[in-house]
Amino acid sequence: MRAPDLLRFARDAATGNPLRTVLLVLAMAIGVAAVVVLTALGDGARRYVIDEFSSIGSNLVIVLPGRSQTGGFNPGNAITNTPRDLTVDDAEALLRAPAVKNVSPIAVGTSEISVGGRLREVMVAGTTAEYTQVRKLDMAQGRFLAAGDWRRGASEAVIGATVRNEMFGSEPALGRLVRVGDRRLRIVGVLAASGQGLGMNTDEIVFVPVALAQQMFNSNTLFRVLVEAKSREAIEPAKAQVTEIVKVRHDGEEDVTVITQDAVLATFDRLLGALTLGVAGIAAISLAVAGILVMNVMLVSVTQRTAEIGLLKALGATGGTIRAAFLTEAGMLSLAGALFGYALGHAGAALIRHLYPAFPAWPPAWAVIAGLGTALVTGLVFGVLPARRAARLDPVQALSKR
């Protein structure tokens, strides 16, 4: 039998029983759509987290005061159970590390900002001019905090986009005097809206010089020190050097935690990658179920078409031709289901992206290929048994059946 004839024959056989065909295609489609949507969710979550982390800045090493619990028992900690302050001097010392490109200390606290009768509670972050380089931030207007001695700060502030909108509305903000806590500060810049930054949304923050913030909150310790390594390869050396410098400055005690963004990212990447694989596996089970359905429906079809199979044999069809006809039909139904499911899955993912624009719910290419492939393979594999049964029918008995 010629290939186009085989295809037409299988198509006619499939459309000859529309209900059966629609149900089968639907079952297959749901399986494939489940793979596409679930992996889109899993991979979307992975991408979302990674984007959030990446938006903090690249080649980042973060120094936190206090020893992380994973370090085990440390006799030094047992004696001085409150960790030493992480100070601006410590931060400045880190600049000596050869693998370090930039350092930016951060002190945080909450305060009130008021201007022209409007009042709002805000997060105040004390930092230095280097902050925008380390975090790769853009300015919407004006400039960031002035460079200079970290221990002395001018009476100036930079505000995030949300703060700007809420405090000034349509009025110009640049150059205005505002009151933050008990200080009068001049707005020198407005940050471009970012809407991102894990845990700290820069849109809602007022930035002031770090010295000013420490005076306002009457504290010497820093919340974080952000360190930018010279390159990706320099991240690990930078981490070691930073740890060593702080240790020396703190009388040999390792009382800070140094984390690299890479390590955190890699962990999340692995975790969420595994999660995606897991849901893909679960969705694949529904494909296997669809495959078993294909087999059963095809078996019923063989029984219903016994007389026809007998006739085909009487007309000179070989067992191979009959096998090919039934396999083609199973493959065709699976393919139709897979393509329909693919479209359905993409529509589902698009709907999720429409409802949650921040969530990148795109199915990964490997999952789509695996889903379509599995659908086709299961359809064909489970189609083999019915096709063989059809090919082996005894023509005399098949013909005598009505």
Partner 1 sequence: MAAPLIALSGIERVFHLGDSEVHALRRLDLQIDAGEYVAVMGPSGSGKSTLLNLLGLLDRPNAGSYRLEGRDVTTLSAEEQARVRSERIGFVFQSFHLVPRLTAAENVALPMTLAGIAPAERAARVAQAMQDYGLADRANHRPDELSGGQRQRVAIARATIMRPAVILADEPTGNLDRATGDEVVRLLEGLNAQGVTLIVVTHDAALGGRARRRLMMEDGALKHDSAT
In this complex, which beta carbon is closest to partner 1, that of residue 148 or of residue 320?
Answer: 320
Phi, psi at 4, each rounded to 5°: -65, -35
Close Cβ partners of 103 (under 8 Å, ≥ 6 residues apart)? 91, 92, 94, 95, 130, 134, 225, 226, 227, 228
The residue from 66, 277, 308, 339 that contacts partner 1 (CB under 8 A) is 308
The residue from 49, 64, 154, 307 that contacts partner 1 (CB under 8 A) is 307
Our finding on whether 298 is near partner 1 (CB under 8 A) is no
Angle (CA) 364 367 373, round 5° = 140
The residue from 94, 312, 349, 352 that contacts partner 1 (CB under 8 A) is 312
Angle (CA) 181 185 189, round 5° = 120
Angle (CA) 383 389 395, round 5° = 140
Nearest CA to 105 among 210, 250, 246?
210
Our finding on whether 5 is near partner 1 (CB under 8 A) is yes
Strands 183-191 and 100-115: unpaired
In this complex, which beta carbon is closest to partner 1, that of residue 114 or of residue 397?
Answer: 397
The residue from 93, 193, 311, 381 that contacts partner 1 (CB under 8 A) is 311
Piece of the chain touching partner 1 by CB under 8 A; list 71-79, 219-227, 283-291, 393-401 = 393-401
Piece of the chain touching partner 1 by CB under 8 A; list 12-20, 67-75, 84-92, 338-346 = 12-20
Our finding on whether 277 is near partner 1 (CB under 8 A) is no
Piece of the chain touching partner 1 by CB under 8 A; list 188-196, 307-315, 349-357, 370-378 = 307-315
Angle (CA) 154 160 162, round 5° = 145
Site size toward partner 1 (CB under 8 A) is 27
Nearest CA to 298 among 391, 206, 159, 225?
391
In this complex, which beta carbon is closest to partner 1, that of residue 9 or of residue 268?
Answer: 9
Give me 149's structure tokens: 């001695």
* Footprint of partner 1 (CB under 8 A): 1-2, 4-5, 9, 12-13, 15-16, 307-308, 310-321, 395-396, 399, 402
